[in-house]
Amino acid sequence: MSNPIIAPVGAIYVHEGVTVPIVTDVEIPAGNVVVLGKLVGVAKFGICANSRGSITVAGVFDVVKDPTTNIPAGTILYWSKISHHVIKNAYEHSMIGIAVEDAPPSSLTVKVKLLQ
């Protein structure tokens, strides 16, 4: 077994990172997808305007999709700030996670494991 390399500088543990605290100037209803640059999460609880709340960045959520789109399990998904649903196109969109079940064209949602 080799010896680990330990740097005398680094990081201080804060928390598990399942949720991320945010302060918002707008009201965010529970269930809304929140995009902060490349960080994408879900507001499990409503957040009042001009107050502190948190978004969840881990877990599996049913997320809205285009009902004409076929999404196989294992597909990497992105959040469209324009159409407000998951898409398969990475172009200028923030990654939200990966589909954990098939979502055929007739379905309105897809089960997404958030990946941040």
What is the set of domains in the chain, with CATH numbers?
A: 19-114 (2.40.300)
Note the pLDDT tens digit of each residue in 30-87: 999 999 989 999 999 999 999 999 999 999 999 999 999 999 999 999 999 999 999 9
What CA–CA distance (Å, rounded) separates 77 from 88?
A: 5
Per-residue pLDDT band at 13 (split at 50, 70, 90)? confident
Work out the number of other CB atoms within 10 angstroms of the CB of residue 95: 16
What CA–CA distance (Å, rounded) separates 19 from 26?
A: 19
Please tell me the predicted confidence (pLDDT) of residue 1.
56
pTM of the complete model: 0.85
Half-sphere exposure (Cβ direction) of 25: Cα atoms closer than 13 Å:
0
